[in-house]
Structure 1
């Protein structure tokens, strides 16, 4: 059991290190490096930790939707929702970085009706999300990020 916990701690540390490096390269190059993940455009999402109150930065792929950004809380098809999603549910005021632009925004999970409209378009553009949905019993949330008029 102690070995399993140590393995989880090491994995978590490696993921956090990768994410920090990704965010640094993204910012240093204005998204020229890190502005694409797995062949999809990427952004940096900044949320406030629901327990810690600390800012959390996560590189994520997105799908453009007019002036909005769609994020998919797939967590690779895990049965556990990603921490970034849990954070924005607790506090929907977020910041996104797209290229060199930093944008204040409100993030909300699409309701059932909106998700049903968006999901086919999402999987048409990024088929991996359909396979992630098949891997888990939870409905993978679609998050709509809307910039706040400044």
Structure 2
């Protein structure tokens, strides 16, 4: 499976406004981060969860032992660009900490049980990130 090709196709389908192969459009965003080494823009399609006026994303990396590249990028630069539905906007990406993270992570695992499976596969703490409009 070529993940980069799947991502390219998903991004193109999302931006074209039509159906997206194997995914629910209403649960998908495009997150653009700035490369921590290259400085280039990198766009990643991913699932999100609405939480009031913020969007939540999870750096589970399907339970891998390392954080996904998009998360490493936003650790260096919290300013991101988000495409959700028909809206595109600048946003601030803030990893949740403390009680907010604990409460939110518990809710996300209850709502999406596959996150609990991802957590069991890794020893790292899986980051939960809030995206808020700038």
TM-score (norm 1): 0.83
CA RMSD between the two structures: 1.9
Say yes or no: does 1:122 pair with 2:111: no
> Which is helix-richer, 1 or 2?
1
* Residue ranges of structure 1 left out of the alignment (5+ in a row): 1-10
- 3-state secondary structure, aligned to 1:80: coil
Q: Measure the CA separation in 1 of the matches of 2:69 and 2:52.
A: 26
Q: Measure the CA separation in 2 of the matches of 1:145 and 1:57.
A: 15
For 1:75, the equivalent position in structure 2 comes to: 61
For 1:34, the equivalent position in structure 2 comes to: 20
Task: After TM superposition, list the pairs within 5 Å mapping 1:11-22 onto structure 2.
Answer: 14-22=2-10
1:134 Cα shift? 0.6
What is the total number of aligned residue pairs between the two structures? 134
TM-score (norm 2): 0.93
1:120 Cα shift? 1.4
1:41 Cα shift? 0.4
Moved over 4 A (4+): none
* Residue ranges of structure 2 left out of the alignment (5+ in a row): none
